Structures are given as structure tokens and as C-alpha cells.
Amino acid sequence: MADLESISNCWGLLNFVIQGNMENLIFTSPTKGKMALFDVVEDIVRYLEEAPDKNYLLVIGSDSQQYPEGVDFVSSIVAHRIGNGGRYFWTKTRKPKIKTLRDRIYQEAIFSITLAQELKERLRDRLQLLTLEEIMEIHVDVGYKGKTKEMIKEIIGMVRGTGFIVKTKPDSYGASSVADKYT
């Protein structure tokens, strides 16, 4: 079970995001370079509208890496055209050093949830024909093996409680492959 300090640290990150800092996030696209969240949303809408008859997944995942000077959190947004590739965007944020792996995993999950909620709100008005709840997934960097196995039920419950589909390792490529690549 999460301790009070873990929960407090997570809500601190959530407050950072809620206080308008989401607009300040700069994403990077491997093909288009630096982009604001507004531009990422516009690019996703254009991408989905290019082939409206295809099936899509919108995946949000986060990963982190502890360094002596702090923790780098990387969050990714993947627009996956199933069977036909996709595109992705990532953003990196540095936070003060975090004491435990549990705290880092909770913060990764909360950052992904918050980003997914923001993306969902921005896309809802633009993509009238899609049921976003059915195509959005949050990928968490936890699995049934390794150091994170003890907290997997907590993290899955937290994400499901927000209404999103959750994927764990080895199926959580948004966190364990895309975001991990940039930590």
C-alpha cells in the first residue's frame, strides 16, 4: 500500500501539471521537431483524419530515471494506426530527487493519467466520430516480474479508476519502449 509521503509527492506533481504548466510542456516529434501540446493535438487529428477507415490506438506512457541532480520524467503520446505504423511525441521534465522507486512509479502513473485526461479533453471536440475511451490506453512501467511487481495492483487500480484502459509490461510499449528511450 502507498504511504502518505508517496501520495503527497504524487499530488505535488499533479498540482504542477494542473496549474497551467501543461501549456508549457514542449514535446518532441522525431519527424517534426519541437511542438507545443496544441500542435501535437492538431497533428494527431490530421493523422487520424488521413485514414478514417483505419483502427487506431492513442497510447500515453511515462518512464523516469533517477540521476544525482534529480529525476527525469519522460511522457509519450503514441498515435498508432493499427497495422500501418504510427507516430509519437515525447516530453521530458526534471524534478527533484525522489527517495523510492514506489514514489517514482506513482508519479509516472499520475503524469500519464493527467496527460491522457488533457489529451482526451482536447480531442473530444475535434473527433466527433470516435469514442475516445475505446481507443485510449495508458501504458505503465510496471510488470508481474521485477521490482515493480509488488505495486502492480495499486497502479492498475489507480489508472482504471480514472476510466482508462491500462497496459502493463510486457505490453506497455508507450512507457517501457517509447518513453524509456528518452530517459
Domain boundaries, the chain: 4-181
Model confidence over 62-112: pLDDT tens digits?
Answer: 999 999 999 999 999 999 999 999 999 999 999 999 999 999 999 999 999
pLDDT value at 29 more than 80: yes
- Please report, as a single letter, which amino acid is at residue 128: Q
Closest CA to 139 of 66, 62, 25: 62
Q: What's the chain's average pLDDT?
A: 89
Q: Environment class of residue 84 by beta-carbon count within 10 Å: exposed (0-12), middle (13-18) or buried (19+)?
A: exposed
- The Cα-based distances of 108 to 31, 49, 141, 155, 159 in angstroms read 25, 30, 8, 10, 11
Q: Is residue 113 packed enough to be buried (19+ CB in 10 Å), middle (13-18) or exposed (0-12)?
A: buried
* pLDDT given at position 21: 67
Look at the block and give the residue holding cell 497496459: 167
Domain 4-181, what architecture? Answer: 2-Layer Sandwich (3.30)
C-alpha span between 77 and 58 (Å, rounded): 7
Which residues are paired to 59 by β-bridges?
Answer: 78, 137
d(CA 77, CA 79): 7
Residue 3 has pLDDT above 80, yes or no: no
pLDDT of the residue at 134: 86
Residue 170 has φ and ψ, to the nearest 5°, of -90, 5
| Rounded Cα gap, residues 108 and 34, in angstroms | 22
Residue 56 pairs in a beta bridge with 81
Name the more confident of 10 and 171.
171
Task: From residue 36, give the alpha-carbon distance in Å to each of 22, 26, 32, 93, 158.
Answer: 9, 5, 11, 14, 28
